[in-house]
Amino acid sequence: MPTFFETLNELMAADVPLVTITVVDTTGSAPQDQGAKAIVTAEGRRYGTVGGGKVETKAIAEAQAMLRGESMEKTKFVQWNLAKDVGMTCGGIVRLYFEAHNAHRWKIVIFGAGHVANALVTLLVHFDCQITCIDPRREWLDRLPPSPNLTAIESADMPSLVKTLPNDAFVVLMTMGHTTDKPILLEILRTRTFPYLGVIGSRAKANILKRDVEEAGLPEAAKEAFHCPIGLDLGTNHPYEIAVSAIGQLIQTRDRL
Q: Pairing relation of β-strands 93-101 and 106-111?
A: unpaired
Average per-residue pLDDT for the chain: 91
Positive or negative, the CA dihedral 8, 9, 11, 16 is positive
Domains of the chain (ranges plus CATH)?
4-101 (no CATH), 106-256 (3.40.50.720)
Give the pLDDT confidence score for residue 127 in this predicted structure.
92
**DSSP secondary structure string for all residues of 29-54:** S-SS-TT-EEEEETTEEEEE-SSSHH
pLDDT band (50, 70, 90) for residue 89: low
Give the pLDDT confidence score for residue 72 in this predicted structure.
66
pLDDT tens per residue across span 190-237: 999 999 999 999 999 999 999 999 999 999 999 999 999 999 999 999
- Please give the radius of gyration of the chain, using alpha carbons only, rounded to the nearest integer: 23
pLDDT tens per residue across span 7-62: 999 998 888 899 999 999 888 777 778 899 999 998 999 999 887 778 888 899 99
